Structure 1
Amino acid sequence: MARRRGSRSSKRKAKKSERPGGFGAGLWRWTKRLFIAGVVAAILAAIGLTTAVYFAARNMPSYSALRQSQHGQTILVRARDGTQIVELGPSYGEWLTADEIPEVMKHAMVSVEDHRFNSHFGIDPAGLMRAVWNALNEDRQVSATSTITQQLARNIFLNSNRTVDRKLREAVLAMALEWKFSKQEILELYLNKVYFGGGAYGVDSASRKFFSHSARTLSLEEAAIIAGLVKAPSRYSPTADIDAAVGRANVVVDQMVKYGDLDPATARQVNVDAVKLAQQDGQNSIRYFTDWALPQLDLLLPNSTFEPIEVWTTIDIGMQRAATAAIKSNVPGDAQGALVSLDRDGAILALVGGTDYVTSNYNRATDAMRQPGSAWKLFVYLAALEAGYTPDDAVQDVPVTINGWSPRNSGGSYAGQIDVRTAFAYSKNSVAAQLGNEVGFSNVASMARRFGISTPISTYPAMVLGSSEVRLIDMTRAFAAVSAGGQSVEPYGITRVETADGEVLYRHENQRAYTLVPDYVAAGITDLLQTAVATGTGKAADIGRPVAGKTGTTNTNRDGYFVGFSSGITTGVWMGRDDNKAVSGLQGGTAPARAFAAYMRYAVRERPVEEFDTDLKLPEWQLEPDDQYLFDDDDYYYYIDDQGNLVEPGGPQGERSEPFDVEGERPGTRRDNRDPLDPRGGPAQPGGAQPGQPSRGTPQPVPRQDAPQAASDDFLERATGQRLPPDEPAPQRRPGERYIDRRDR
């Protein structure tokens, strides 16, 4: 028996000796090791976290110091004469202790922002795990899970960058706050420092801003509105969107019922819609300007600063008031209006982005993209003048069709042969279409780009009548460049930035001006613009001194434009509806032109009267024949007789033959637009000439039968740029292509 027991014992020992070598035993050993390593790592992490929280709490400012700390930068904005026009920055109400803050305000905030506030230690592990689980199940990022304590730590000590490092520091600081202060103190700090939008920090400031009374007397409905703001102050602000604010407040009430902070019977009696909001003081339209100018500080100041600063601007207080009054008194019905006024160096003197900043802070002067109508013809005629036209040149105001598009004049009438000046003054659409076709629609677009139009530009034929949407500030800039004699103009609104101690952080330096068009082109377009006001569609813009400008009216009166200049000040006016519906009776030559005149009478009242330089000092290539002889080399031109025969320069007996131009213009006119090697003669015939008909002023040669032709037709057509008859039909309108007729009255 003893021997058998010994045998079994030896077998058990043998089995034990075999176990360590098995796969299961190895896995078990690694599992134990990983578990132990994990426990050790967790202990070390806990020790490290505790140490970090301890030192953070030890170095944390006292409660009284945290009460006195304020965040946010104060910006004092001054006009060009130093007058204070607005102060932007944080607004702090009266500090309320925990006992002074209504319980309903506390419950509302805790219910909607952190319903486990009274049970966690600064971070909410349960909430974090739930957020991670939801993210994994829904395949999205982990949603925000910041507790009230974490939000307080972020508002006091950190920024809003969404980085892992910032979140870790936020968690450490939140636990340090819980370590050092009581829940009551933390909630008091939070409610007095959290941002509620509109520059309001703390419940008392928010209550006074939105309800015109102290937070000590907040009702349940008012507390729900304020508590709902923290998630998105701008989206749920009752002054911006009352419906969104009420909807969010009802969510707060439901959360209060859900977590036991509000009796369901009481909740059923809540009527957030009945809350009376404070009447907002009418804010000066200067806020349209500051909304445009102040964001530029991020680019102008090389290093960010949080200390108070003073920003000196280009705004003229009197002109701003005059601009506001001009828009409000002339805008038709329920339409909107905008105005931009630039000094000769690009300084913004006045900027109005709408009729009422409180009702709508959308800046129509700098952000809205609307069709300029015939005001766009500025670029068409600039391109034509640069190509060789002059204001006195003859053009044909006749019906035309270009690639299947047939523009119509206002009233459907056509004047026949007129000059360029008259065509521009009376905004003849048919002439603008012909000029655009001749110089090239892409060249018109390039001219607009050259003058500062930054929005997309169409190159379809209808673009000559203003079908491309633009910004008012860009159009005003373009006209300012014409006023500057064809030199570039860069709008600006900030002249310098200083600290409260007088240290200059930024000072504006005038940008280098570039020549956009030759001076004779600038003089020519100024001639046209002056005539448009003196005798054309812009008569209502007359202010008793020289004014140059252009009206613009889009189809069915959706937009009205007038842009012009006088005495070094350039002003653009737009009127229309935000929903792009038609405005009865709106034309560029009516309300916008009258608003322009009302403002400009004030703006230029102390400036000397300036006559426009419209004297066209043409370049040598555009001189008259007699002058051309004095400057040009005879070998530059080909000469032919009345029968089209080639003649040597100088001719028999030394007589000079008159150079022949296929379009009947002065020698050299628009030569740069025709390729002498192009047998088709370059651009389309002006004046609406149809294929097979002579173009404007084309001589009719009478061939002589007894004199042989000295040169072949091919040679002569290449030498003179004479156009061959088209051998194929004009391109048809593309499928789905739609042109919009622009009328300017």
Structure 2
Amino acid sequence: MAARGRSDGTRQEPLLERPESLFDIRLDPRDRAAGAPPPVEPPRRAARSKTPPAKVAPAKASPPEPRRGEPSGRGRRERRRRGPLLFRLIKWGFILGIWGVLAIAGVIAYEASKLPPMQTLMIPKRPPTVIVQAADGKTLASRGDMGGVAVPIRELPPYLPKAFVAIEDQRFYSHFGLDPEGLARALVTNLTSRRLRQGGSTLTQQLAKNLFLTQERTASRKIQELVLALWLEHKFSKDELLDLYLNRVYFGAGAYGVEAAAQRYFGKSARQVTLAEAAMLAGLVNSPSRLAPTRNLRGAQARAALVIAAMRQQGMITQDMASAALARPGQLSRAGMPDSSGYVADWVMDQLDTYVGELPGDVVVRTTIEPNLQQAAERALEDTLAKSGAKYGVGQGAVVSLDTDGAVKALVGGRSYADSQYNRAVTARRQPGSAFKPFIYLTALEHGLTPDTVREDGPIQLKGWRPENASHDYRGPVTLTTALSLSLNTVSVRLVLEMGPKAVVATAHRLGVASPLDPNPSIALGTSEVSVLELTSAYVPFANGGIGVVPHVIDSVKTMDGKPLYQRAGDGPGRVVAPEYVAMMNRMMTETLSTGTARRADLPGWQAAGKTGTSQDYRDAWFVGYTSRYVTAVWLGNDDSSPTKKASGANLPVEIWSRYMKTAHQGVPVADLPGGLRTAGFGGIGYSPPGGLFAPPEGGPDDRPPAVVGQMPAPPQQQEEPMTLDRWFVQTFLGGGQRR
């Protein structure tokens, strides 16, 4: 380095005498990252030069070749980028997982808070079982929320509880109330099938639902079910849980608990079921309504085969046991098939609360039903409809039979209880048609008319209403006896107008009709609806001498240990018809069976009376007939009130009545109807002596009677009191006894 001076004496900075390249300390393009352009060198200020230096375009550097075995520059950048991304995903996944767990815990805690405190939570007592018995002590049915007595698991055959574990919860003895594997499998199955096919619930969860929760399918209820399942597992042993489950689960056909199901389907105790029957019971709980053997025996047997296969696969039974069970599948016993006694049991349950209030526990209800009569009524109805129902367009029917005290001896509420539990004998209201006419004629007698009073059978018109007889012809003047036996509508209308509709309604209500009745002229044709039961009970006073009754089926109620809760006393409304009018009515209604519309009624050796009834367009067909022992009513029709094919009270109902009453009177001592009607004559039903009050018309009962028939005899001479009609009947028919 040399110092140089200027001629003017000023100092000049020294210059380094080195090559120009030594002063360039910028990076060579070869030292830069691949693909990165070199920086542009800023222009140097030239000393004392006012001309700007020319711009030099930088040379384009080619990317350097990567060394063998080392990643390129882009790969290094991608690797650096992936590292932080993976870390962030893990971090946020962990955070979200924590929040998810906290959210689930919060939801569970919230739903659990809706439950009562666990320390106060108790297993609810098993609802009472009601055993419904016939009059002879034979069990007719079991009813109540629980259909059978609880049976301890130790008393059951060992393969019975195993069958439930095999098909419902294979890991029952190993899980803690929840089965994660089962839940996962159910979730996969439901997702792949895109519909709910599996639930994944354990037996403990099912028990929790049955004990404490409703059957609704919501997320809230499911969470509560899980909480309760954990509590149950902590509170009880596995065998105790299984015991509770078997005695609470629903098996279809109204059967709750394994004992009720065994009785309902196989007619035996759960202690005695075979392996095939146990497998069928275990298979029902999956879909009890659809698989109930009473409705779908083949489906129940197919499901039982799956249960047996599962038991064999899990080593619960041997191959020989499985083969034997498959060879002889469970069969529905005749005793287990629902029959007409189901209508009786349902009616008993409807009334039981009125009789005894809240049940203290299991009870036995003794009814008035006679099993042989119940079966006879059921067979008579079913066989007749099977033979002639289609011909007459009749789909349903009902039969009620009472004794003269009002006790129900047989009650059939429909053609098949298994197909329809609607009780047409008690609940249904139908038009009685002409079966209502005895109340009209009784009202007329109580207003001073007699069986031989004459009224005109001819056209009648009332404000545009023109009632006609079924035959569309008229007989002219006829006695009331003839008019009632032939069911002449015009005479009934005239009597209603003469006595007043309100008087007729009062008579019907007094005798036992409970339904509201419209007090208008059309009541003469039985247009107000009544039940079969109440119409039957309203005829009872004709059979027992005029005493009103309250129809009843419950005789006593006792606890299982015999403590009486209710015992029926002989209460009732007392006398509702004077004996003399009972005698008149019986005389008139015996003509219905001998010469009138019920001539096909057949009950040899017995005095019988009654009345047929057919509503408009043949929608209802009735016959109510009675002896001194039983009063029985038969109704036929269709549930939708559609017209039948001319089914009338004179055909099918009379046929059913005759068949049943023959069975009911077998071995029963013969007794006459009140009124002393038996003398001599036809079919066990005789006339009074010639010249008496009930003398038949001249020329026979089928001819047109004369204008004046049967004059009442003159009163005896030297009587202290005038001989009234009332006193005459008392002395003639009751042997001079006093009127009660």
- Equivalent position of 2:519 in the other structure: 459
1:517 aligned partner, one-letter code: V
Match of 1:329 among 383, 389, 393: 383
* 1:129-180 deviation digits (Å, cap 9, x = unpaired): xxxxxxxxxxxxxxxxx99978745755x79899xxxxxx999976643544
1:581 aligned partner, one-letter code: S
Aligned length: 504
1:303 Cα deviation after fit: 4.8
Match of 1:417 among 468, 472, 477: 477
- Equivalent position of 1:305 in the other structure: 360
2:649 aligned partner, one-letter code: G
Q: Normalising to structure 1: TM-score of the pair?
A: 0.57
1:392 aligned partner, one-letter code: D
Give runs of aligned pairs for residues 125-524 of structure 1, distance below 5 A.
Answer: 152=207, 155=210, 176-177=231-232, 179-180=234-235, 190=245, 193-201=248-256, 226-227=285-286, 281=334, 282-307=337-362, 309-331=363-385, 333-334=388-389, 335=394, 336-524=396-584
Pair 173,326 (structure 1): closer, same or farther in 2 beyond 3 Å? same
Could you tell me whether the CA contact under 8 Å between 2:621 and 2:647 is conserved in 1?
A: yes
1:225 Cα deviation after fit: 7.4
Partners of 1:426 and 1:223 in 2: how far apart? 60
Pair 188,466 (structure 1): closer, same or farther in 2 beyond 3 Å? same
* 1:152-209 deviation digits (Å, cap 9, x = unpaired): 45755x79899xxxxxx99997664354469999699657743343354468987998
1:571 is aligned to 2:626:
no
1:609 is aligned to 2:671:
yes
Partners of 1:537 and 1:97 in 2: how far apart? 60
- Equivalent position of 1:545 in the other structure: 606
- Equivalent position of 1:77 in the other structure: 132
Instruction: State the percentage of identical aligned residues.
Output: 34
- Equivalent position of 1:90 in the other structure: 148
Partners of 1:54 and 1:418 in 2: how far apart? 82
* 1:498-519 deviation digits (Å, cap 9, x = unpaired): 3333322221101143332333
Could you tell me whether the CA contact under 8 Å between 1:101 and 1:216 is conserved in 2?
A: no
2:595 aligned partner, one-letter code: T
2:471 aligned partner, one-letter code: G
Match of 2:658 among 586, 589, 597: 597
SS at structure 2 position matched to 1:328: helix
Partners of 1:598 and 1:476 in 2: how far apart? 18
Could you tell me whether the CA contact under 8 Å between 2:544 and 2:628 is conserved in 1?
A: no
List gaps (5 residues or longer) in structure 1: 1-41, 62-68, 110-115, 120-145, 163-168, 230-234, 250-275, 634-665, 667-745
Partners of 2:492 and 2:521 in 1: how far apart? 10
1:526 Cα deviation after fit: 2.0
- Equivalent position of 1:559 in the other structure: 620
SS at structure 2 position matched to 1:561: strand
Could you tell me whether the CA contact under 8 Å between 1:208 and 1:215 is conserved in 2?
A: no
Could you tell me whether the CA contact under 8 Å between 1:338 and 1:352 is conserved in 2?
A: yes
SS at structure 2 position matched to 1:539: coil
**Structure with the greater alpha carbon radius of gyration:** 2
SS at structure 2 position matched to 1:333: helix
- Equivalent position of 1:105 in the other structure: 168
Give runs of aligned pairs for residues 714-733 of structure 1, distance below 5 A.
Answer: none
Could you tell me whether the CA contact under 8 Å between 2:496 and 2:521 is conserved in 1?
A: yes
SS at structure 1 position matched to 2:575: coil
Pair 326,518 (structure 1): closer, same or farther in 2 beyond 3 Å? same
Partners of 2:115 and 2:611 in 1: how far apart? 73
Provide the aligned C-alpha RMSD in A: 5.0
Partners of 2:712 and 2:255 in 1: how far apart? 69
Partners of 1:277 and 1:97 in 2: how far apart? 13
Partners of 2:515 and 2:524 in 1: how far apart? 15
SS at structure 2 position matched to 1:322: helix
Partners of 1:318 and 1:582 in 2: how far apart? 33
List gaps (5 residues or longer) in structure 2: 1-105, 181-200, 217-223, 267-272, 304-328, 678-691, 694-710, 726-740
SS at structure 1 position matched to 2:379: helix
1:471 Cα deviation after fit: 0.6
Partners of 2:643 and 2:653 in 1: how far apart? 15
Could you tell me whether the CA contact under 8 Å between 2:632 and 2:657 is conserved in 1?
A: yes
SS at structure 1 position matched to 2:360: coil
Could you tell me whether the CA contact under 8 Å between 1:101 and 1:215 is conserved in 2?
A: no
- Equivalent position of 1:526 in the other structure: 586
Partners of 1:83 and 1:52 in 2: how far apart? 43
Could you tell me whether the CA contact under 8 Å between 2:549 and 2:573 is conserved in 1?
A: yes
- Equivalent position of 1:719 in the other structure: none
Could you tell me whether the CA contact under 8 Å between 2:251 and 2:261 is conserved in 1?
A: yes
1:238 Cα deviation after fit: 5.1
Partners of 1:149 and 1:499 in 2: how far apart? 32
